[in-house]
A = this chain, B = another copy of it.
Amino acid sequence: MFKSQINECEDVLLSMKLIVNQLNDVIQKLNEDDIKDMLQKILDAKRIFVMGAGRSGLVGKAFAMRLMHLGFTVYVVGETTTPAVKEEDVVIAISGSGETRSISNLGKIVKDIGSTLITVTSKNNSTLGQLADTSVILPSKTKTDQDHDPDSGGDLEKNMRGDYTRNLPPLGTSFEITALVFLDSIIAQLISLTGASEAELKSRHTNVE
């Protein structure tokens, strides 16, 4: 009955609001010391490598592209001309669960090489969280969590959800959006710290597309 009053568009707006609530929730829970540590390691790095699988990998690429615009020497693991990682390099792994097999295997290789590993994840107790020199924890629902995990959102979400059972985006969506928003805000901070202008960024943006 109530259901029939929902036209096909209502869940789009509701989902967007839930995402906004989750973002607000994450902002409250961020550990500032970890973020400062991540910023320091990025600013000190000679070369930065970014890696992630699936949609987390896409978020990693979006971050890597902006680091390039800022003038950093940055590579995406798995792309054509990405060189060997060396001891003095910084590798940033993006993984909601911190357990994605391929990425945690690569995390071990990275630590065997002796490189610095930064993980952006929602799970501190994960393989990648434990391997990393610095972990930034973004508390979010990931694709290995159960449906309707009571910890997957803030109270607001639960209130808003009411009888709705499907309106939160699926699998690791919450993590991936949160990671993109967080990493773009790392970029905002790096712009502030390095004094880069938007004109400088545009000058490095690909002109052959």
Contacts and interface: CB of A to CB of B under 8 A. Distances in A.
A12 B188 contact: yes
Among A35, A81, A198, residue most surrounded by chain B Cβ atoms (within 10 Å):
A81
Nearest to A11: B189
Interface in A74-106: 74-85, 91, 100-102, 105-106
Contact of A100 (B61, B176, B193, B209): B209
Interface in A52-73: 53-55, 58-59, 61-62, 64-69
Contacts of A181: 16, 19-20, 177
A128 interface: no
Given A80-B64, A168-B188, A205 B9 contact: no
A148 to B, nearest CB: 9
Contacts of A78: 78, 209
A173 interface: yes
Tell me how many chains of this kind the complex includes: 4
A206 interface: yes
B27 A17 contact: yes
Given A171-B205, A176-B62, A189 B143 contact: no
Interface string A100-119: 11100110011001000000
A30 B206 CA distance: 31
A147 interface: yes
Contacts of A7: 32, 36
Nearest to A106: B208
A110 B187 contact: no
Given A7-B32, A11-B188, A58-B59, 5 more contacts: A11-B185, A53-B209, A76-B80, A106-B208, A177-B180
